[in-house]
Amino acid sequence: MSTRTPARRVLSSCLATRPRPKRRPRVCLQVTSGVRWNSVKQQPGSDFVHFPGAVHSKFTTTLNFTSPSEKNAMPTYRILDQSGQIVDKSREPLNLSDSEILKMYKDMLTVSILDPIMFQAQRQGRLSFYMVSAGEEGIAVGSAAALRKEDVIFAQYRETGVFQQRGFRLDEFMNQLFANRLDNGLGRNMPVHYGSKDLNIHTISSPLATQLPQAAGAAYALKMEHLQNPSEEPRVVCCYFGEGAASEGDFHAALNIAATRSCPVIFLCRNNGYAISTPTLEQYRGDGIASRGVGYGIDTIRVDGNDIFAVHEATARARKLATEGSMRPVLIEAMSYRVSHHSTSDDSSKYRELREVESWKRRDNPITRLRKYMEGKGLWNEELEKKEQETVKKAVLKAFNAAEREKRPALRNLFDGVYEEMTEELDSQIQELAGIIEKYPNEYDVGDFEGGREGLFKEKR
């Protein structure tokens, strides 16, 4: 039986993509800067408190509780307005070439074409489950475009745009969605739980917020790696999560350990107003998720998630902050609205007005906002739009048909990978299953699985 723990796997998979140095220099683990607590003393006559737990607090004689209602909400950074115009005409030109802008647009468009096709396929019973990211394409694509491909990503599940931007192919999406034999995860995960070792994206897992402490740990590993190889460009982790996931204890643990150990991780919250049927108004009383970043001593920004330029610029800056000096975490809260149902298992008309959704759809959208900007610059027009839509739709349907026809993974994959090596117990379960399939061929028609019953005995792929 394997003795590897999941935590060690996370760290080792981050390190696996780079060659290890032959001789490891000794690494000093005291990497956080700052005062040692036992050296903090109250100075006689000082205006400031010098308790170990609050070193920058000023004494006051006014009895006053700090009330959140007296504080202004954190502002929301934007570059483009809803009509696709640059708001601050005096600002520096965008740090993006026309081809980079076109790629961002096409990536968002691809997600917006893929999504309704797969949603419908689920309704037709050809797929067990699907989640769309309508309204949030700009957050995923804009942020991923600001990272380096060596950076490590942990996603929640509504970040199809991140995979698309990084180069996850349509056939890879489809193989995972149809859980066929070519799926990277060998059919072991539910649909939309993609993962790609080649693209440095950890496989999505359903239990909310588990990715957050994993991301903090992976970022710590990257930091250690950088200390060992300082001549190499430092890498960061980018961790995506919804505002609902931020209600989990794991969120708080992750932010605190990342802050105290100065881990190079960008926590990227998609605040889309809902955690399934629970609106944000019922989820928290504070100023969104951004105020929590500040509470943990983390540099934080709130951005307009419908403005892909703002998301891109904020992520690029966050990446710089995260890798500077002795490194640190950064929190980005990207504001948006979940236009869709939560998933194919949800009917949002049961808990919100259709009017509300329609008004958001009409009023604002990251794709139309960028399109307006591009049209204003002469980069895009109706004809190009039609052509691109047709091309993408064709490619999606081609990948769809091919993946749907593929065989399912060999049955052996149910047992392989549970432990590093096959155990006696698993081996006897394989024999038992083979016996059952042989005895009840009509009840257990396994012809769809690669190799049929014999697929139970095939070696690991």
- Name the site residues for Mg ion (rule: CB under 5 A): 242-244, 272, 275
Task: Tell me the closest approach of the beta carbon of residue 345 to ligand TPP, in angstroms.
Answer: 10
Interaction between residue 190 and ligand TPP (CB under 6 A): no
β-strand pairing of 237-242 with 152-154:
parallel
Q: Does 244 bind ligand TPP (CB under 6 A)?
A: yes
Cβ–Cβ under 8 Å, residues 256 and 293:
no
The reply on whether position 243 binds ligand TPP by CB under 6 A is yes
Using CB under 6 A as the binding rule, whether residue 207 contacts ligand TPP is answered as yes
- Closer residue to Mg ion (CB): 214 or 348: 348
Q: Which is nearer to Mg ion, 159 or 313 (CB)?
A: 159
According to CB under 6 A, which one of 272, 344, 348, 413 is a site residue for ligand TPP? 272
Please select the residue that binds ligand TPP; options are 158, 193, 235, 412, rule is CB under 6 A.
158
Mapping DSSP to helix (H, G, I), strand (E, B) and coil, where does residue 36 land? coil
Q: What is the largest CA-CA distance in the chain?
A: 88
Does residue 227 bind ligand TPP (CB under 6 A)?
A: no
149/168 Cα distance (integer angstroms): 12
Task: Find the shortest distance in angstroms from Cβ 133 to ligand TPP.
Answer: 8
Q: Which of 235, 338, 371, 408 binds ligand TPP (CB under 6 A)?
A: 338
Rounded-to-integer distance, Cα 113 and Cα 28, Å: 50
H/E stretch holding 330: strand 330-335
SS3 label, residue 128 = coil
Instruction: For residue 357, give every residue at least 6 positions away whose Cβ sits within 8 Å of its Cβ, in sequence order, or none.
Output: 339, 348
Bridge partners of 333, per DSSP, are 269, 302
Q: State how far the Cα of 114 lies from the Cα of 130, in Å rounded to an integer.
A: 11
Whole-angstrom Cα distance, residue 178 to residue 406? 9
Give CA–CA dist 308/191, Å, rounded. 27
Over 351-394, what HEC string results?
Answer: CCCHHHHHHHHHHCCHHHHHHHHHHHCCCCCHHHHHHHHHHHHH
Supply the minimum distance, in Å, between the C-beta of residue 337 and Mg ion: 10
Q: Which of 224, 276, 426, 437 is the binder for ligand TPP (CB under 6 A)?
A: 276
Contact 154, 199 (CB under 8 A): no
Asked whether 295 and 260 are in contact (CB, 8 A), the reply is: no
Burial of 103 (0-12, 13-18, 19+ CB in 10 A): middle
Q: How far is the CB of 437 from Mg ion (least distance, A)?
A: 43
Nearest residue relative to ligand TPP (C-beta): 242
| 274 interacts with ligand TPP by CB under 6 A | yes
Smallest distance from ligand TPP to CB 283, Å: 8
Contact 228, 24 (CB under 8 A): yes
Taking the complex as a whole, how short is the minimal distance between the CB of residue 242 and ligand TPP, in angstroms? Answer: 2
The interface region with ligand TPP, picked from 167-175, 201-209, 310-318, 448-456 by CB under 6 A, is: 201-209
371 makes contact, choosing from ligand TPP, Mg ion, none, with CB < 5 to 8 Å by partner type, with none
The binder of 158, among Mg ion, ligand TPP, none, by C-beta within 5 to 8 A per type, is ligand TPP
In angstroms, what is the C-alpha Rg of the chain? 25
By a kind-dependent CB cut-off of 5 to 8 A, residue 305 interacts, out of ligand TPP, Mg ion, none, with none
Segment contacting ligand TPP by CB under 6 A, of 29-37, 56-64, 243-251, 388-396 = 243-251
Only one of the segments 71-79, 112-120, 239-247, 385-393 lies at the binding site for ligand TPP (rule: CB under 6 A); that segment is 239-247
Find the shortest distance in angstroms from Cβ 231 to ligand TPP.
Answer: 39
Q: Does 275 bind ligand TPP (CB under 6 A)?
A: yes
Residues that bind ligand TPP (CB under 6 A): 158, 206-208, 242-245, 270, 272, 274-276, 338, 342
